[in-house]
Structure 1
Amino acid sequence: MSTIVYMVRHGDSPKEGNERTRGLTEKGNEDARRVTELLRDKKIDVVASSPYLRSILTVEKMALQIGKEVEVIEDLRERVFSCSDNRLEDKELGPLLEKSFVDFNFSLEGGESHAACQKRAVQILKELLHTYKDKKIVIGTHGAVMTLMMNYFDPSYGLEFLYSTTKPDIYRLEFNDEELVSVERVWDQGRILLDSGGLMI
């Protein structure tokens, strides 16, 4: 048996606003419904999420579908990039990410480093793998923290991978205990099928 983790990066959200309370745009809400459809037949056992609203909203319909509440976990939050509660501009975020993937201990004043973010998020992931061993877990997440969790198990997941992801996105991770066995992107395939009116697989 193996434990399956579906990393679900949140859908499109407003460019401005508080990091914790920014929700989803109209497109983001529509894509959240698609996420639910795509995972409908995967026999999910538990749904966990970052405490940020956009992540919760992306996976909460999935939780309702299996008759459970989203397990909101503080340490699954996105990397805290600065002391501000608001989203960094892309022109600031890009160089910060590039420098951070070179030096995992780099951070802006009042923010956290890649190393610190990875440590607290991976600890939670390992706890989930232990608690729900041989089960299927959905995690509502964000681009950077998702990449850092995957990077811990396989260093090939870095900046290039992060830039290749979309909002939303879904990756199926298979674990044997704490060993990452395989990774498969689910969202792109499912999105194409949904757009064409095809059957879900």
Structure 2
Amino acid sequence: MSTFVYMVRHGDSPKEGNERTRDLTEKGQEQSHRLVDILKNEGVDAVISSPYKRSILTVEKLAEQLGKEVLVYEDLREREFSSEGNRISDQELLPLLEKSFKQPDFTLEGAESNTACQKRAVKVLKDLLVTFKDKKIVIGTHGLVMTLMMKYFDSKYDLNFLHSTSKPDIYRMEFQDNELVNVQRLWETK
């Protein structure tokens, strides 16, 4: 038997504001309904999310459709780039990402590295693979932390992969025990 993890990158969200409390835009809300259509017949056993509002809101409608609650895990949050918790601009972010993928232990003062982010998130994912063995789970997540979790199991999930993802996005990961055996993208951009 296999365990299936559906990594769901959050929908469109405002470009400014606090990382933890940023909402979805109207477009992001519409995308969450489309996500329900894609995943409602997959036989999902649990819906899990990062604690960030935009991730919860992206998977919340699916959880409601399935009669489940969203289980929130703090360590699935996005990588922290600043101690203030505010979003940094794309112009600032891109060189930080490039440096972080070349030097995984690189960090800004008061923030965390790719290595630290990956370690905390993969620990949760490994625990979920045990708790939900041979089940199907959805994880509401973010682009970078999703990429780092996937990279842990297969090095091809790198910065180029991150840049190729969309908001939202869905990747169905198939595990046999702790081994990743298949990944399929389910979200199609329109």
Classify the TM-score, shorter chain: over 0.9
- What's the TM-score once normalised by structure 1's chain length? 0.93
Which residue does the alignment assign to 2:9?
9
What is the CA-CA distance between 1:65 and the residue it aligns to? 1.4
**Structure 1 stretches of 5 or more lacking a match?**
193-201
Which residue does the alignment assign to 1:84?
84
Q: Distance in 2 between matches of 1:114 and 1:186?
A: 26
What is the CA-CA distance between 1:82 and the residue it aligns to? 1.4
Which residue does the alignment assign to 1:170?
170
Which residue does the alignment assign to 1:195?
none
SS state at 2:19 partner: coil
Total equivalences in the alignment: 190
2:64 matches 1:64: yes
How many percent identity over aligned positions?
Answer: 68
Which residue does the alignment assign to 1:43?
43
What is the CA-CA distance between 1:66 and the residue it aligns to? 1.5
Which residue does the alignment assign to 1:96?
96
Partner amino acid, structure 2, of 1:16: E
2:143 matches 1:135: no
- Cα deviation digits, residues 155-189 of structure 1 (max 9, x gap): 1100000000000000000000100000000001x
Which residue does the alignment assign to 2:25?
25
Q: Structure 2 matches for 1:154-165, cutoff 5 A?
A: 154-165=154-165
Partner amino acid, structure 2, of 1:168: P
Higher mean displacement: 61-70 or 97-106: 61-70
Q: Distance in 2 between matches of 1:126 and 1:69?
A: 21
SS state at 1:166 partner: coil
After TM superposition, the runs of 4+ consecutive aligned structure 1 residues lying more than 2 A away are: none
Partner amino acid, structure 2, of 1:141: T
- Cα deviation digits, residues 21-59 of structure 1 (max 9, x gap): 001000000000000111010010000000000000000
Q: Structure 2 matches for 1:140-155, cutoff 5 A?
A: 140-155=140-155
Partner amino acid, structure 1, of 2:129: L
SS state at 2:91 partner: helix
Q: Distance in 2 between matches of 1:84 and 1:162?
A: 24
Q: Distance in 2 between matches of 1:131 and 1:84?
A: 34
What is the CA-CA distance between 1:85 and the residue it aligns to? 1.5
Q: Distance in 2 between matches of 1:2 and 1:9?
A: 22
What is the CA-CA distance between 1:83 and the residue it aligns to? 1.4
What is the CA-CA distance between 1:84 and the residue it aligns to? 2.2
SS state at 1:118 partner: helix
- Two-structure CA RMSD over aligned residues (Å): 0.7
2:175 matches 1:185: no
**Structure 2 stretches of 5 or more lacking a match?**
none
- What's the TM-score once normalised by structure 2's chain length? 0.99
Partner amino acid, structure 1, of 2:101: F
